[in-house]
Amino acid sequence: MTAEGLVPHYARVGADPVRDAFAARRAVMPWRSRRPLPAGEVEATWARLLADRRAAGPRLAYVHVPFCANHCLFCGFYRNAYTPQAATAYTDLVIAEIEREADAPAVAAQPVEAVYLGGGTPSALSAAELSRLVAAIRRSLPLAPGCEITIEGRIIHFDAEKVDACLEAGANRISIGVQSFDTAVRRRQGRRAGKEEAIAFIEALRDRDRAAVVIDLLFGLPGQTEAVWREDLAIAADIAPDGVDLYGLNLIPGTPLHRAAAAGKFPDAPTLADLGGMYRAGSDFLAGRGWRQISNSHWGRTPRERNVYNLRIKEGAECLAYGSGGGGLIGGHSYAVAPDLQTYADGVRAGRKPIEGMRVSDTLQPLRNAVTAGIEVGALDVGALAALAPGADVAGALAPLLRQWQSAGLVALDGDVVRLTTAGRFWYSNLVFAFDAILCAGAAAPDAPRARPDLPSDPRKTRELS
Ligand SMILES: C[S@@+](CC[C@H](N)C(=O)[O-])C[C@H]1O[C@@H](n2cnc3c(N)ncnc32)[C@H](O)[C@@H]1O
Ligand code: SF4
C-alpha cells in the first residue's frame, strides 16, 4: 500500500484522542473476509469436518440458550420469549445435539479449555434443566482439567436453587448482565430488579465463593449521566466481584432503543466522544482500584477470573457450537447453527446438524487472528507478524501509520511492540480495520480452505463492535 493509502486510517492529532481520534467507529465482524460456502455443500462439508481428527490448537465450546423473560430495549440478542414448555423441549434438543456428536473424531481430537453457555439468558432455564445441560456437556465433551465453564445470566429468575444447580453440575464462572445499578436507568430498559436487589444478588453470588463472578456494565444508556456511570463503577468496585466487563452502548438497528432514537425519543443519546470519555473514566477508575485490564473491555480483580473463553475466541481458537443461534469454527470453517427455533428443532429431530451457513477462511486468516488477538490485549508484536505474511514487508508497510497513531495518542511504540493507550483501546476496532486493510489488501487471498483456526461467528461477540 502506498503512503497515500494509509491516510484514511490516520487519526486526528491535537484533539483528546479518546473522544475525538476518529469521526466514526469501524465495524470488524468476526466473519469478515470469509467466503460463504454454497448451501448445497454444507451438509457434506460438515460430515467431513466431523470425521477429521486433526485439531488446530486450543478448543472451546459454545452453547446458546435463546430465551429471555423480556426484550430489554437496548439489546440486539433477543430471539424468543421464555416459556417453561419451550425451554424444556429446547434443553432436550441441545442435549441430543451434543450427545450425537460426542463420539465424532473431530470432537474427541482436542481437549476443550473453556465452555460458554450464553444467550439470550441461560439462567432462564430451570434448575433441573441447567443441571442436565451442564452434566451433558461434561459427559460428552473432552473437557481439559480446570476447564472454565461459564453460565451467563441475569438477576431476575436466577434464584439460589438455580445457582446451586449450576455450581453442583460444575460451572465455575458466572457472568451476570447488570448493565447499570441505577433503578431508573434499569427500569427504563426493561430490567425489573431495582438497585438494592441487584447489589444483594451479586453480593450473595460473591459470598458463595465457589465460582468466578463477573458482571457486565453498559455505559451510554438513556438517563445514565456521567454521575450515574461513576456511581455504577463505584458500586461494582465495592461489591468486588472477580471481573467486570465495560461495554459502550451500541445502538443496534432493530432494537426498541434504536427505534426510539430514530423517533427522537432518545435526545440524550451519547456521542462517540461521550462514550470515549465514559470508557476512560471506567478504565482510570478500575486501574486506580488495582484491577488489571485483561482485554479492551474486560478487567479482573482476582486470579480466579481468567476470561479464557473470550481471550481464546479473539485468538481464533476452534469452537464447537451447539444450540439455536450458536456460532462455531472448526477446520478453518465457521458455521452458524440455525437461529430460527423451529428450523433448529426440525433439524435436530431429523438427526441433522441444523447449520444455516458456513464460511471458509483464506490463507491470511492467521495474520488477521494475530492482529485481532494482540490488539485485544493491548500489545501487538509487529515483528512476529512477518512470519505470517511471508514476502511482505510488514514493519515497513505499517511504520508511517504507527508513527502517526503515536503522535495522535493511540499507541506507544516499544521496539517491535505496539502498545495501545486507553484511547487506542477505545478505538480498537478502527485499529484492527486499518491493519486488515493494509496487511491484507493487495495480498493474495486465495479461496482455498485451510485447516487453521479463525474467529467463530459467535453472536455474543458482535456486542464488542459497539
Ligand atoms: C448476550 S447479552 C446477554 C445478557 C443477559 N441475558 C442479560 O440479560 O444480562 C451479553 C451482554 O451484551 C451486552 N449488550 C447487550 N446489548 C448491547 C448493546 N446494544 N450495546 C453494547 N452491549 C450490549 C450487555 O452488557 C449484556 O450483558
Ligand atoms: S439483555 Fe439479556 S435478557 Fe435482555 S434481551 Fe438481551 S439477552 Fe435477553
**pLDDT > 90? residue 464:** no
Q: What is the CATH number of domain 35-316?
A: 3.20.20.70
67 lines ligand 2 (CB under 6 A): no
Q: Helices in 142-298 by DSSP H: which ranges? A: 160-169, 183-188, 195-208, 226-239, 256-262, 272-288
Q: What is the mean pLDDT of the chain?
A: 92
Burial class (CB in 10 A: 0-12, 13-18, 19+), 39: exposed
Task: Tell me how far apart the alpha carbons of residues 17 and 423 are, in angstroms, rounded to a whole number.
Answer: 6
Strands of 379-381's sheet, edge to edge? Answer: 379-381, 417-420, 411-414
* C-alpha separations of 126 from 164, 202, 231, 287, 432 in Å: 11, 20, 33, 38, 40
Confirm or reject CATH 3.40.190.10 for domain 3-30+364-448, answering yes or no. Answer: no
Please work out whether the CB of residue 66 comes within 6 Å of at least one atom of ligand 2. Answer: no
How many Å lie between the centroid of ligand 1 and the Cα of residue 66?
13
pLDDT at 1: 62
Pocket test for ligand 1, best of 77, 244, 466 (most atoms within 8 A of CB): 77
Which residue type, as a one-letter code, is found at position 313?
I
Whether the pTM exceeds 0.75: the reply is yes
Q: Separation of 189 CA from ligand 2 center, angstroms? A: 10
pLDDT at position 444 is 38
pLDDT tens column, 122-157:
999 999 999 999 999 999 999 999 999 999 999 999
pLDDT at position 304 is 97
With a 6 A CB cut-off, is 297 part of the ligand 1 pocket?
no
pLDDT band at 175 (very low <50, low <70, confident <90, very high): very high
**pLDDT at residue number 442:** 47
DSSP tag of 37: P
For residue 77 and ligand 1, the question of a CB distance below 6 A is answered with: yes
Q: Is 119's C-beta closer than 6 angstroms to any atom of ligand 1?
A: yes
460 pocket-lining for ligand 1 (C-beta < 6 Å): yes
- Residue 60, all three cell numbers: 472451546
Q: 271 exposed, middle or buried (CB, 10 Å; 0-12, 13-18, 19+)?
A: exposed
DSSP class per residue in 331-395? TTEEEEE-SSHHHHHHHHHTT---EEEEEE--TTHHHHHHHHHHHHTTEEEHHHHGGGSTT--HH
Helix (H/G/I), strand (E/B), else coil: 301: coil
Q: Which of 46-50, 369-373, 385-389, 454-458 has the lowest mean pLDDT?
A: 454-458
From 65, 68, 123, the mutation candidate for ligand 2 (largest count of ligand atoms within 8 A of CB) is 68
Q: Which cell numbers hold the place of 340? A: 430460527
- pLDDT tens string 272-285: 999 999 999 999 99
Place of cell 441444523: 354
What are the beta bridge partners of residue 67?
Answer: 80
CB 185 within 8 A of CB 197: no
What is the predicted pLDDT for the residue at 431? 97
The atom of ligand 1 lying closest to the CA of 152 is 5
Q: How far is the CA of 464 from the centre of ligand 1 (A)?
A: 10
At 286-334, the pLDDT tens digits run 999 999 999 999 999 999 999 999 999 999 999 999 999 999 999 999 9
Q: How far is CA 293 from CA 16, 28, 281, 428, in A?
A: 22, 22, 14, 14
184-241 confidence digits (pLDDT tens) = 999 999 999 999 999 999 999 999 999 999 999 999 999 999 999 999 999 999 999 9
The secondary structure of residue 14, as a DSSP letter, is S
**Mean pLDDT in residue range 111-123:** 98
Domain range summary for the chain, segments of one domain joined by + = 3-30+364-448, 35-316
78 lines ligand 2 (CB under 6 A): yes
Q: Is the pLDDT of residue 257 over 50?
A: yes
Is residue 257 within 8 Å of 189, Cβ to Cβ? yes
pLDDT digits (tens, 9 = 90+) for 379-435: 999 999 988 988 888 888 899 999 999 999 999 999 999 999 999 999 999 999 999
Ligand 2 site, residue 71, Cβ cutoff 6 A: yes
152 lines ligand 1 (CB under 6 A): yes
Q: Indicate the residue type of 251.
A: L
Relative to the alpha carbon of 459, which ligand is closest?
A: 1
Flag whether pLDDT at 450 surpasses 60.
Answer: no
Checking if the pLDDT of 99 tops 70, the result is: yes
